[in-house]
Amino acid sequence: MDARDKQLLRSLRLELCTEVLVDGLVIQYLYQEGILTDSHVQEIKSQTTSQRKTMMLLDILPTRGPKAFDAFLDSLQEFPWVKEKLMMKRKEMTVQDPADVTEIAPCILKTSPTDQQLNKLARRLGPEWEHIVLCLGLSHTDIYRCKVNHPHNLQSQIVAAFVLWRQRLGKKATIQNLQASLMAEEVDPSAIQYMLE
């Protein structure tokens, strides 16, 4: 999903949570189109309220590739007013300049990420997490082990992989290394900002 669409979803997040009920056709359509996987659908359905389900969907969508936003628009058949609003806002939006993203202080870049920070980052990542941890030096076997140890929870798999990376590299497992591999995989820079908030 391109930066403009991610920014648009972020800016309308609360409004979408009150307007869109993902219990209906939205999730099923996105699943049918291959935007959501089986585990995504389960994760969304496991949320307790409609708002939380929509928030979970909005967390997952930006990680689901270039077709995700258009498929989301197509899924809003029951909510034509929401679809119209998103399309209008999309036309008038300008992409946030990457230079606007706040710089991270060098002293923070040299530290190791905490469990809490890794957990927050894991919430923002989707299938690209495997490439990110490979960039960080983990092997396919390590990834397989994380998946086997946490078969039903993608976030736990991601956190386990990052914790393993941190244990292996010790003091060399810095936020700077993490940021470099996120950038190499073209993950939205806001993910690292969110992690540090």
Q: Where are the domains of the chain?
A: 3-95, 108-196
Q: What is the mean pLDDT of residues 53-71?
A: 87
Q: What is the mean pLDDT of residues 18-31?
A: 83
pTM above 0.75, yes or no: no
Over 70: is that where the pLDDT of 129 sits? Answer: yes
Question: Are the folds of 3-95 and 108-196 the same?
Answer: yes
Over 80: is that where the pLDDT of 118 sits? Answer: yes
Closest CA to 54 of 33, 76, 77: 76
Q: What is the mean pLDDT of residues 158-168?
A: 92
Over 50: is that where the pLDDT of 140 sits? Answer: yes
Q: How far is CA 20 from CA 12, 23, 55, in A?
A: 11, 9, 10
Angle, helices 3-11 vs 80-92, to 10°: value is: 130
Over 50: is that where the pLDDT of 70 sits? Answer: yes
**Position 99 confidence tier, pLDDT thresholds 50, 70, 90:** very low
Q: What distance in Å separates the CA atoms of residue 122 and residue 157, rounded to the nearest whole number? A: 9
The SS3 call for residue 65 is coil
Over 70: is that where the pLDDT of 57 sits? Answer: yes
* Domain 108-196, classified CATH 1.10.533.10, yes or no: yes
Q: How far is CA 194 from CA 30, 79, 119, in A?
A: 26, 30, 11
Over 90: is that where the pLDDT of 149 sits? Answer: yes
* Domain 3-95, classified CATH 3.40.50.1110, yes or no: no
